[in-house]
Structure 1
Amino acid sequence: MPKILIVGGGYAGFYTAWKLEKHLRKGEADVTLVDPLPYMTYQPFLPEVAAGSIEARHAVVAHRRHLDRTHIITAKVTGIDHANKVATITPPTGEPYELAYDHIVVTAGAVSRTFPIPGIADNAIGLKTIEEAVAVRDKLMSNFDKAAGMPAGPERDRLLTVVVVGGGFAGIEAFAELRSLASALVGKYPEITFDDTHFHLIEAMGRIMPEVSLKTSEWVLKDLAKRGANVHLDTQVTGAIDGNVELSTGETIPTDLIVWTAGVMANPTVVRGGDLPVEERGRIQTRADLRVGTAEEPLVGAWAAGDVAAVPDLSGGGVGGYCVPNAQHAVRQAKLLAKNIVAVLRGEQPKEYFHKNMGAVAGLGLYNGVFQSGNIALKGFIAWLAHRGYHGLAMPSWERKWRVLWGWWNNLWLGRDIVNLETVQNPRYVFEEFAARPRPAAPAAPAPAAPAAPAKEVAAEKAPAAAKAPAKKAPAKAAADKAAAVKAPAKKAPAKKPAAEKAPAAGK
């Protein structure tokens, strides 16, 4: 049976496995999916998770629940030797091992792309994973808790300042959702006013959201300004040591929360750890039919899709001639990729990927959004409905759709959930604080000093010395000698015998 190995369980990987289960006949192929996480993250929902509008668990899809006939391996692929058709699997525990395959599908996705700016690696956080979204939400809420009990001053201002770096779709959505969350929190903290909160967006280009028209992006800027947000265009971050964000304009913004959304790059662990061809931007060179290789020569048995792949955009709308890395392309590429693999297994020819971008939609906080498709632009509440409608339907599986929709419905009547669970990142803190521990071993006592000998013993020990040096007799020795001299006549001792010779007997 042909063995199909899928590297990565994100959009493209999950959908490829999902559709292969649908199209493959029983026993036609053996499918294995390898990913270090046991779930797929629906990344368009991350800004809403960070704002508390969607429960974190509802924005992910468990591999094992929805992939019934796929072998799931929770591990990393750290090497690909396509010449011999084996991949190196590195599990969380245990030694790495090799796994043979007939077809490999590389869908390892992308990670945050950063630059060697002092302080960014130590103080900033990305927004590419569900864990990061939860951490951002809890951090902002914890800062409100701390600031509410502090007097006005620089440290309080730092806690209530948020800096988002990057003005693309991901950055704008995160920025707007966090601003919306902060506005909602102000109403629950009488000690904090709206003017006490400070939000700054840093963008190196002269505009935001290049995916929409300039007119639409300008409307978004005005809308953010009305909500008390500060957008710094044509500005770069030059430092972030100790949370002090230094800008190329010379301004310094002290903050306790830096969210980095300034670009992504193909997963370097997979790309650099194999022998598959890589193009100049660090992505796997992929043909329009999603086989790895050049237009003239495909690499037999190797496929790629999603953010890790440089797939030609036959519609002509891609940047540099390639499909832009977004969920819309990843899902559609994966669906075609599954069909193409089945076609090749059955001796048929694969089809080329062609998809014209349907537009872009972004949420800007509760009841506000923007939508752009060609020359059609929607703004405000109607665009927000379009945003939720599109992503609600795009969420894979009805099980997950209903969980998300049910959460939205509850929030409509009950309001945003503002429970802060930052301590869940250190769940044992209470147990550790009060847990009984063995008493430390007592340090070894120093050897006790020899006790002082009784007077008579001391006299006995020193008797020989006294015999040699009568001038240095101790008082006890002298008393003993005197006593012996008094008793001597009663025992008819020789009169001429010296007292010193009787000292030992007196000591006894």
Structure 2
Amino acid sequence: MAAETDQTDPSRDHRPVPGSPGRKPRIVIVGGGHVGLTVALRLQKRLEPGEARITVIDPQSHMTYQPFLPEAAAGSVEPRHVVVPLRQALRRSEVLTAQVTCIDHRSRELTATLADGTEEHLTYDVLVVVPGSVSRALPIPGLSERGVGFKTIGEAIYLRNHVLSRLDIAASTSDPELRRRLLTFLFIGGGYAGIEAIAELESMAREAIRAYRTLEPGDMRWIMVEATGRIMPEVSAPMGEYTRRRLEERRIEVKTDTTAKTLTDGHVVLSDGDEFDADTIAWTAGVKPHPMLEDSDLPRDGKGRVECTAKLQVRGTQDVFAAGDCAAVPDLTSDKADALCGPSAQHAVRQARVLADNVVALLRGHEQQEYRHRYAGSVAGLGLFQGAAEVYGIKLKGLPAWLLHRAYHLAKLPTLRLKARILGDWLLEIPLRRQTVALGELHDPRSAFVKAANTRGLPTEHGRAG
């Protein structure tokens, strides 16, 4: 790990943004997720042409709108419609497809590994650190070999194809033990991501299984495991209990105060004594700040988040900002002196707007504003026409909550083009049933060709028949 920041260095606390004649200040945004894209779009809007140079760095060339991953996995929306190509959206910015591996703020320099494997060193005048988070895995035997996360569009598509392919195989086998294993689906982690994922995929599978003559919905077993005493801690206990009842009405087993002890070879052993075999193990048990931050000299708290002031400046600096899951931002609306904003999309997007405005204020020498937002509540989709919501103390259930969930996230989508595509998917879903088909070839597209190419009688690499 790089050396810790010296927060007592006055040269770091009061350095102005360079503005030498003939050179535009460079703003580098590390992370092209929802926060990074929102910051860049707002900077493009607020800054005059030629006022600054904006560079966005991310390993992916697109932003994924993660709240719609469950619907993409279930087939309610087209997976391509939950991503925004960064270069199309950020036409006044430079987009660099690379992974930042080191931040040296003492030198105002960062190191990035490009897609071709080469390293590039970039200098900056203002740095925005918003790389987001990654799945927080635990050292459970078998997890790394059998588990799959649910944070990327690739993982969502994989889970969809995997679940549907389990139905295909189960309908073709006469082995009862194999069928039971294939039709057992385990999700570990009862926060929003896990609840929405299991609810949407169970809804999809229940609809798909009607087409199989040899299978019944009762043949499937869906299990949600949560280590704490309740699911969905983002809402009140009564709403969490309501959500649990709705899931259990659909025969989804919800096990609280339970952990997974081992997952070796798909044999699941839970702390409550339950043992079973599962061919699908999804891990949605929390996130942690991006590990890239470990190779920086920015100050971080005990959870690895970058320490920030209420103005979203990294503590001890003037020209480095952070927001979102990777940032520890004071919650000025709380009565507790040391309270921090929670790692929610609601805070992250609002922080992004304040952050962009503060960067503009810094460049122009204006006063910056503090981030202050009282948490409004949460909305969650629980499958087709089902939802749970709690907004400003008002609780909604069922269809009204589901409609609010869709309306809220449609409004928060970053571009008009994306809004139109998602709305089109939803409107088509009314007269037409969603397609439930596994496309396993997506995960190994060359397998059929390689098999054919290795068959006797086909030309070899020298052009002659083998």
1:370 counterpart residue number: 388
Task: Give yes or no for contact 1:4–1:105 (8 Å, CA) kept in 2.
Answer: yes
1:374 deviates by 3.7
1:427 deviates by 1.1
Backbone CA RMSD of aligned residues:
1.7
Q: Tell me whether 364-373 or 45-54 shows the greater mean CA deviation.
A: 45-54
Q: Which amino acid aligns with 2:303?
A: R
Structure 2 CA distance, aligned partners of 1:319 and 1:141? Answer: 49
Residues 1:438 and 2:437 are matched in the alignment: no
1:95 deviates by 2.0
- 1:276-287 equivalence runs, <5 A: 276-287=298-309
Change (3 A) 1:181 1:319: farther
Deviations 1:232-267 (A, max 9, x none): 111011110001111011211211111111110000
340, 343, 346: which is aligned to 1:328? Answer: 346
Change (3 A) 1:95 1:48: same
1:418 deviates by 1.0
**Secondary structure at the counterpart of residue 57 of structure 2:** strand
- 1:110-259 equivalence runs, <5 A: 110-259=133-282
Task: Give yes or no for contact 1:17–1:31 (8 Å, CA) kept in 2.
Answer: yes
**Secondary structure at the counterpart of residue 238 of structure 1:** strand
**Secondary structure at the counterpart of residue 288 of structure 2:** strand
Change (3 A) 1:408 1:318: farther
**Secondary structure at the counterpart of residue 325 of structure 1:** coil
Residues 1:404 and 2:422 are matched in the alignment: yes
Change (3 A) 1:334 1:408: same
Task: Give yes or no for contact 2:103–2:296 (8 Å, CA) kept in 1.
Answer: yes
Structure 1 CA distance, aligned partners of 2:203 and 2:117? Answer: 45
Q: Which amino acid aligns with 2:198?
A: F
Q: Which amino acid aligns with 1:289?
A: K
Q: Which amino acid aligns with 1:202?
A: V
Q: Which amino acid aligns with 1:113?
A: R
Structure 2 CA distance, aligned partners of 1:361 and 1:152? Answer: 42
Task: Give yes or no for contact 1:317–1:357 (8 Å, CA) kept in 2.
Answer: no
Q: TM-score, normalised by structure 2?
A: 0.91
Question: How many aligned positions are there?
Answer: 437
1:114 deviates by 1.1
393, 396, 400: which is aligned to 2:411? Answer: 393
- 1:98-117 equivalence runs, <5 A: 98-117=121-140
2:106 counterpart residue number: 83
1:172 deviates by 0.8
**Secondary structure at the counterpart of residue 73 of structure 1:** strand
Task: Give yes or no for contact 2:377–2:393 (8 Å, CA) kept in 1.
Answer: no
64, 67, 73: which is aligned to 1:44? Answer: 67
Point out where structure 2 has 5 or more consecutive residues left out of the alignment.
1-23
Point out where structure 1 has 5 or more consecutive residues left out of the alignment.
442-508
Higher RCO structure (Cα 8 Å, ≥6 apart): 2
1:415 counterpart residue number: 433
- 1:296-335 equivalence runs, <5 A: 298-316=316-334, 321-335=339-353
Q: Which amino acid aligns with 1:173?
A: E
Structure 2 CA distance, aligned partners of 1:225 and 1:424? Answer: 33
**Secondary structure at the counterpart of residue 272 of structure 1:** helix
1:97 deviates by 1.8
Change (3 A) 1:65 1:317: farther
Q: TM-score, normalised by structure 1?
A: 0.84
1:317 deviates by 8.0
Q: Tell me whether 319-328 or 172-181 shows the greater mean CA deviation.
A: 319-328
Task: Give yes or no for contact 1:317–1:356 (8 Å, CA) kept in 2.
Answer: no
Task: Give yes or no for contact 1:4–1:29 (8 Å, CA) kept in 2.
Answer: yes
**Secondary structure at the counterpart of residue 389 of structure 2:** strand
1:495 counterpart residue number: none
Change (3 A) 1:29 1:318: farther
**Secondary structure at the counterpart of residue 98 of structure 1:** strand
Structure 1 CA distance, aligned partners of 2:275 and 2:225? Answer: 12
Structure 2 CA distance, aligned partners of 1:264 and 1:320? Answer: 21
1:273 counterpart residue number: 295
Residues 1:290 and 2:290 are matched in the alignment: no
2:13 counterpart residue number: none
Residues 1:381 and 2:381 are matched in the alignment: no
Change (3 A) 1:359 1:439: closer
Structure 1 CA distance, aligned partners of 2:336 and 2:36? Answer: 22
Structure 2 CA distance, aligned partners of 1:100 and 1:17? Answer: 18
Deviations 1:367-412 (A, max 9, x none): 0000112431100011101011111111111100000010011111
2:447 counterpart residue number: 429
% identity of equivalent residues: 44
1:306 deviates by 0.8
1:49 deviates by 1.2
Structure 1 CA distance, aligned partners of 2:443 and 2:280? Answer: 17
**Secondary structure at the counterpart of residue 352 of structure 2:** helix
**Secondary structure at the counterpart of residue 83 of structure 1:** helix
Deviations 1:452-491 (A, max 9, x none): xxxxxxxxxxxxxxxxxxxxxxxxxxxxxxxxxxxxxxxx
1:92 deviates by 2.0
1:439 deviates by 7.5
Q: Which amino acid aligns with 2:318?
A: V
Structure 1 CA distance, aligned partners of 2:338 and 2:394? Answer: 24
Task: Give yes or no for contact 2:62–2:86 (8 Å, CA) kept in 1.
Answer: yes
Residues 1:53 and 2:76 are matched in the alignment: yes
